[in-house]
Amino acid sequence: MSIIYVLIPLAVIIVGIAVAVFFWAVRSKQFDDLDRQGYSILFDDDLPPEEKKLADERKRLHDRD
Amino acid sequence: MTGNVCFHCHLPLPDAEHFYAQVLGQRQAFCCPGCQAVAEAIVQNGLEDYYRFRTEAAPQAKSAALIPDELTLFDDAELQQDFVQQDDETCETTLTIEGISCAACGWLIERQLAKIAGIRQVAVNVAQRRALIRWQSDQTKLSTILSRLRHIGYNGFPFQPDKHEASYQNEQQGFMKKLGLAGIMTMQVMMLMAAHYFDWLGEMSSFMQQYFNWIALLLTTPVVIYSGAGFYASAYRALRAGSVNMDVPITIAVFLTYGSGFAATWQQSGQVYFESICMFIFLLLLSRFIEHKSRYQAMQISANMLKYIPMSALIVKDGATHPALARKLLPGDTIIVKAGELIPVDGVVCQGSSKVDEAMLTGEPTAVTKVPGDKVHGGTLNRSQVLTIEVQASLAHSLISQIIHLQQQAVANRPTAAKLADQLASYFVLAVLLIASLTYAYWYVMGNPQALWITIAVLVATCPCALGLATPTALTSAVAWLNRQGVLIKRTDVLETIEKVSTVAFDKTGTLTQGDFSIHAQWYANEADKAAVLAIAGAIEAHSEHPLAAVFARYRQGSVLLSLPHDVTIQAGLGISACYNRQHYKIGSPAFMLAQDTEDTSCPVLPSLPFTANVMLACNGKLIAAWQISDSIKAGVDSVLARLTQQHKTKTTAILSGDSQYNVDLVARQLNIQHPIAALTPAAKLDYVMQLQARGEIVMMLGDGINDAPVLSQADVAVAVGSGTDIAKASADIIFLNDSLHALPGLFTVSARTRQIIRQNFAWALGYNVCILPLAVSGILHPWMAVVGMSLSSIIVVINSTRLIRFTA
């Protein structure tokens, strides 16, 4: 049974990580809209070339910020 | 979904003509050119997937509320200061978007806007019906974004967020974090404590038990410190103000349990109830979270409705006209207001004459003629001709702003029922504290070592958790049900007040009636002549300026008259006499028919009619036709009022209108309304309701105009109808999202049902507390049993409340 003395602190650490992840998710507003993102997977994400260009541009600007 | 409904909006297709477009490889039918154009735009932009994955139909694509030209007004830098945050080259704003019906709309909007060069970020929140947009101000403009949205059938508007919205959002996030932490920790601690409780074989060594206690203490500490912080702060505030609230016993119970658990762990002897603390805090937070969430949602929806539409004006400068924003106008400026436009600010007419509709301000539907030298008010509608106006007051000092001021004052004076509930709660809490301390004193004197735990069991058992859930869960369920019926509740506590309403007061124009006149009943001496008689009436009434005369205008066209009426004499306010085709005609009020005429002395004998005629036509002294012309009552209003008076016989009904007594009486008779009160200014309406309230009446007011805003703010329950003005909606507690009053009877029944459910919840929660109290006081109940009992009691209350969601009126 002595393995419990190792496993329980390990569980506590994992719980700590889970709480930290949850707090981060709340802060980054992931719980604000529970409907929208669930649908993203249904849609094609192949963009036509001109849109791809705009999206890349946007990504570049985001990275710069 | 093909066949007889529109592919885009799923409304039935009109029989006459259909519109077609190629969508998803098939020819689809549409109900109107709007839907067709939107579908074509969606297909052209390669966004057909929207139709494949949407779960709800789109709203019908009506013609745009703003013409594209006016959209450019949103590009004005000064106007943008109010709702756009600018940072170097990037602008950021949140728009409310009309027409979002399901998650696929969010995708559609994001993809559509992402095509515009210069867009940095688009994030659509489907639940809030809002989109956050960031863009490069040097590459694109807000008006471009708005018109792109319009192409695919959505109307985006800047809006005026509620003052408290930001703080509500922070609180909401705080609640979520606290609740999440408490939930996760409760699970962990429960797991550890289960080992204690179910150690029937006694296999756990005392060292292991201590070890478990320490771990549980470690996990409980953040819950007590972080998740419960709100309760302690509220208890502290109450105590400092010299009163007690529900949070006081909660705080005491948490601190006592945690403190003694800590001591027991430290001294390695005694009992610990860490799992009880965690669960206790978790459940309490849950009830507060539910309550907060429903209030936050209502606030968001109502903020979305306060669209930010800039009022524009044509300003005359150096002989040329320029478009300008109304808020930039200064006294002394000269502006031009075209027919059909709103007059932006108070001023004096300096050129032109026109009819001005002041119904928004006065409730009087009859347009007033304005000639040079007359004063006109901001917010009124110019009906017929171009007016040149010299500005007298800036927007902030115009009449419309003064009415808003009156409304704000009324808000401050509003009677509150909430205080009584607080008072009751504090007595309850005092009783709990008293019983708990007496229990402790008794067991301490008796020398029972368990005295502290018995006291904690008393505090937990009597904890107002289920009591606290009783009202918010019932109200939230009722609000969810009402939302589905197209009713928006801004303050949930009004649901409790609705039941007690003794007088239901209506505004007339816009609420009960449509505000335009039409023929309601007619009588002809010879029914076969109907068309000819109407044509003659139309020809003669063409000379009149009277509002009732306008009804006949439509019969003038298309009819063939031999000649035009001549020798027309008008008696203001009574009627017209004229000669036509060598006959002498008189048309006007019944009084005019009976009046002695100079030309012929005969006066017609009035026949007994099945209705009250207010316009009559006589030919050579013989009555040939009679009409009842009145403001047309909105479709369905009569059946709604019939249901209302039948179901709630004790409620008094009244009309509070700015219109003339005659018109108000007419509507009141048709709808069977007891007290028609006419010719009221906004301030007089307010006075009337205050008088009723002084007599102890609970008043519900339904209105739509700017003139109703003050009285809406004063009424105990204020309802604005969907077509109403923003200021009326801002003053109301309840908003009917559609134009009709259909939801009114349902509102009363659901509020009665809600009250019933709340009573059941209270009866259960109090009954449980009273039954459990002797057990707790006598020391039979352990704290953990108290917590389990409390949880079960809470769950029963929640389940009972959710019955309201499935309620059928």
Residue B226, pLDDT > 90, answer yes
Higher pLDDT, B328 or B545: B328
According to the model, what pLDDT value does residue B601 have?
Answer: 46
Mean pLDDT of B79-105: 80
* B321-348 pLDDT per residue, tens: 777 777 778 888 888 887 767 788 888 8
The reply to whether residue B103 touches residue A35, judged by beta carbons under 8 angstroms, is: yes
A60 Cα to chain B: minimum distance (Å)? 10
Q: Is residue B733, in this structure, part of any structural domain at all?
A: yes
The mean pLDDT value for B631-653 works out to: 80
Long-range contact set of residues B675-684: C-beta below 8 Å, sequence gap at least 24:
B680/B363, B680/B656, B681/B362, B681/B707, B682/B361, B682/B403, B682/B406, B682/B658, B682/B707, B682/B708, B682/B709, B682/B710, B682/B711, B683/B406, B683/B710
For the segment B746-758, the average pLDDT, to the nearest whole number, is 87
pLDDT digits (tens, 9 = 90+) for B473-507: 788 788 778 877 778 777 777 887 888 888 888 88
Q: How confident is the model at residue B219 (pLDDT cuts 50, 70, 90)?
A: very high
Q: Is the CA virtual torsion B364, B369, B372, B378 positive or negative?
A: positive
Q: Is A55 on the interface with B (CB under 8 A)?
A: yes
Q: What is the pLDDT of residues B17-72, one digit of tens each?
A: 778 888 888 888 888 777 888 888 888 877 888 888 887 777 777 654 445 566 77
Shared domain for B596 and B684, answered yes or no, is no
- Across residues B295-299, what is the average pLDDT? 71
Q: What tokens were used for A39?
A: 């649908």
Is it the case that residue B414 has pLDDT exceeding 70? no
Mutate to test the interface with A, among B119, B173, B178 (most CBs of A within 10 A): B173
Query: Strand B699-703 and strand B717-721: pairing?
Result: parallel
Residue B421 and residue B294 share a domain: yes
Number of domains in chain A: 1
Give one DSSP letter per residue of B566-593, joined into a string. EEEEEETTTEEEEEETTEEEEEE-HHHH
Q: Do B127 and A33 touch (CB under 8 A)?
A: yes
Q: Is A38 on the interface with B (CB under 8 A)?
A: yes
Are residues A34 and B176, on separate chains, in Cβ contact within 8 Å? no
Do both B503 and B573 map to the same domain? no
Residue B129 shares a structural domain with residue B244: no
Say yes or no: B241 and B298 in one domain: yes
Q: Are B83 and B93 in contact (CB under 8 A)?
A: yes
Domain for residue B585, yes or no? yes
Q: Could you tell me if B103 lies within 8 Å of chain A, comparing CB atoms? A: yes
B125 to A51: CB separation less than 8 angstroms, yes or no: no
> Quick one: B534 and B581 in the same domain?
yes
**Token pair for residue B179?**
């609740």
CATH of residue B76: 3.30.70.100
Name the β-bridge partners of B699: B503
**Predicted pLDDT at B596:** 56
Looking at residue B680, which CATH number applies to its domain? 3.40.50.1000
Rounded-to-integer distance, Cα B663 and Cα B677, Å: 11
The residue type of B149 is L
Helix (H) or strand (E) holding B551: none
Mean pLDDT of B614-637: 80
Do B106 and A62 count as a contact with CB atoms less than 8 A apart? no
Distance CA B278, CA B221 (A): 9
Give the pLDDT confidence score for residue A18 in this predicted structure. Answer: 94
Q: Do B646 and B550 lie in a common domain?
A: no
**DSSP-assigned letters across all residues of B651-687:** -EEEEE-SS-HHHHHHHHHHHT-SEEE-S--HHHHHH
> Are residues B127 and A12, on separate chains, in Cβ contact within 8 Å?
no
Predicted confidence (pLDDT) at residue B15 exceeds the cutoff of 70: yes
Is there a single domain that holds both residue B296 and residue B317? no
The most confident of the ranges B315-329, B341-355, B386-400, B532-546 is B341-355
Task: State whether B114 and A51 contact (CB < 8 Å).
Answer: yes
pLDDT of residue B138: 83
Mark which of B118, B137, B158 sits at the end of a domain: B158
Q: Do A32 and B128 touch (CB under 8 A)?
A: yes
Q: How far apart are CA B257 and CA B253, in angstroms?
A: 6
Which one, of B636, B621, B628, B620, lies nearest residue B741 by Cα?
B636
- Model confidence band, residue A14 (pLDDT cutoffs 50, 70, 90): very high
Q: Which CATH number belongs to the domain containing residue B361 in this structure?
A: 2.70.150.10
pLDDT the model gives residue B65: 45
pLDDT band per the 50, 70, 90 thresholds, residue A10: very high
The pLDDT value recorded for residue B733 is 82
Where is the domain boundary, B594, B616, B633? B633
Q: Hey, are the CB atoms on A39 and B125 less than 8 Å from each other?
A: no
Domain presence at residue B743: no
Residue B184 to residue A15, Cβ atoms within 8 A: yes
Nearest Cα residue in chain B from A6:
B211
pLDDT above 50 (res B418): no
Q: How far is residue B199's CA from residue B125's CA, in Å, rounded to a whole number?
A: 50
User: How far apart, in whole angstroms, are the C-alpha atoms of residue B114 and residue A58?
Assistant: 9
pLDDT exceeds 60 at position B417: no
> For B516, what's the count of Cα atoms within 13 Å in the CB-facing half-sphere?
4
A51 contacts on B by Cβ (under 8 Å): 114-115
| ipTM of the complex in this document | 0.82
Same domain, B645 and B725: yes
Is the pLDDT confidence value at B415 over 50? Answer: no
- Round to whole Å and give the CA distance between B207 and B268: 9
What's phi and psi for B47, nearest 5 deg? -115, 25
For residue B225, the model assigns a pLDDT of 94
**pLDDT bucket at B422, cuts 50 / 70 / 90:** low
- Say if residue B77 is in the same domain as residue B134: yes
* Predicted pLDDT at B229: 92
Interchain pair B211, A48: CB under 8 A: no
Residues in chain A within 8 Å Cβ distance of B121: 58, 62
Residue B775 contacts A where some CB pair is shorter than 8 Å: no
Is residue B170 scored above 50 in pLDDT? Answer: yes
C-beta neighbour count of B206 within 10 angstroms: 9
Q: Do B177 and A42 touch (CB under 8 A)?
A: no
B664 Cβ neighbours under 8 A, 6+ residues apart: B508, B655, B657, B676, B677, B678
pTM of the model: 0.66
Supply the CATH number for residue B597's domain.
3.40.1110.10
Phi (first) and psi of residue B480, to 5 degrees:
-60, -40
State how far residue B119 is from chain A, nearest Cα, in angstroms: 8
Local confidence band at B423 (pLDDT 50, 70, 90 cut-offs) = low
What is the reported pLDDT for B4? Answer: 78
Nearest residue of chain A to residue B107 (CA atoms): A40
Let me know: does B776 contact B453? Beta carbons within 8 Å: no
pLDDT at position B615 is: 82
**B339 interface with A at CB cutoff 8 Å:** no
pLDDT of B211 over the 50 cut:
yes
Mean predicted confidence (pLDDT) in A50-63: 75
B513: helix, coil or strand?
strand
User: Which residues of chain A make contact with B222, given a CB cutoff of 8 A?
Assistant: 19
B residues 139-198 closer than 8 Å to A (CB) = 173, 176-177, 180-181, 184-185, 188, 192
Tell me which chain A residues have a C-beta less than 8 angstroms from the C-beta of B114: 51, 54-55, 58
Closest CB from B102, B115, B121 relative to A51: B115
pLDDT at B598: 46
Using a CB–CB cutoff of 8 Å, tell me whether A17 touches chain B: no
> Counting Cβ atoms within 10 Å, is residue B501 exposed (0-12), middle (13-18) or buried (19+)?
buried
Of B102, B114, B222, the CB nearest to A54: B114
Considering only CB atoms, B184 lies closest to which of A19, A55, A58, namely: A19
The total of structural domains in chain B comes to: 5
Tell whether B735 is within 8 A of chain A (Cβ). no
Q: Specify the pLDDT at position B59.
A: 75
Which residues on chain A are in Cβ contact (under 8 Å) with B119?
A: 54, 58
pLDDT band at B222 (very low <50, low <70, confident <90, very high): very high
What is the rounded distance in angstroms from the CA atom of residue B682 to the CA atom of residue B687? 9
CB pairs below 8 Å between A and B: how many? Answer: 86
Contact between chains at B106 and A36 (C-beta distance less than 8 A): yes
Residue B160 amino acid letter: Q
- Listed in order, strand segments (DSSP E) in B240-391 are 312-317, 320-325, 334-337, 347-351, 354-357, 368-370, 375-376, 381-382, 387-391
* Residue-number span of the structural domain to which B733 is assigned: 487-512+634-737
pLDDT tens-digit map of B300-324 = 766 776 666 666 777 887 777 777 7
Output the pLDDT for position B575: 78
Position B752 scores a pLDDT of: 87
Q: Which residues in chain B have Cβ-Cβ distances shorter than 8 Å to A61? A: 120
Examine residue B765 and state whether it is found in any structural domain, yes or no: no
> Predicted confidence band at B366 (pLDDT cuts at 50, 70, 90)?
low
Contact B102 A35 (CB under 8 A): yes
The answer as to whether B122 is a domain residue is yes
CA–CA separation, B37 and B18 (whole Å):
13
Residue of B nearest to A25 (CA): B177
Task: For B565-589, write each residue's pLDDT tens digit.
Answer: 777 777 766 778 888 777 888 888 7
Average pLDDT over residues B367-371: 81
B781: in domain: no
Domain that holds residue A49: 4-64
Question: Is B124 close to A36, i.e. CB distance below 8 A?
Answer: yes
Residue contact B180–A4, C-beta within 8 A: no
Domain end position, chosen among B633, B662, B697? B633
Can you give the pLDDT at residue B361?
Answer: 66
B422 & B296 share domain: yes
Beta strands in B543-641, from DSSP E residues, in sequence order = 566-571, 575-580, 583-588, 615-619, 622-633
Count the neighbouring beta carbons within 10 Å of the beta carbon of residue B579. 16
Measured CA distances, B660 to B128, B508, B665, B666, B696 (Å): 43, 11, 9, 10, 28
How does strand B19-23 pair with strand B734-736?
unpaired
Mean pLDDT (chain B, rounded): 79
Report the pLDDT value the prediction gives residue B27, as an integer from 0 to 100: 83
- For CA atoms B716, B719, B724, B730, the dihedral sign is positive
Contact at CB, B53 and A31, closer than 8 angstroms: no
Asked whether residue B767 is domain-assigned, the answer is no
Distance, C-alpha B679 to centroid of its chain: 27
- Residue holding tokens 């409340």? B801
Whether B219 and chain A come into contact, CB under 8 Å, resolves to yes
pLDDT of B453 reads 78
Judged by a CB distance cut-off of 8 A, whether residue A41 touches chain B is no
Interface test with B, best of A33, A40, A51, A54 (most B CBs within 10 A): A33
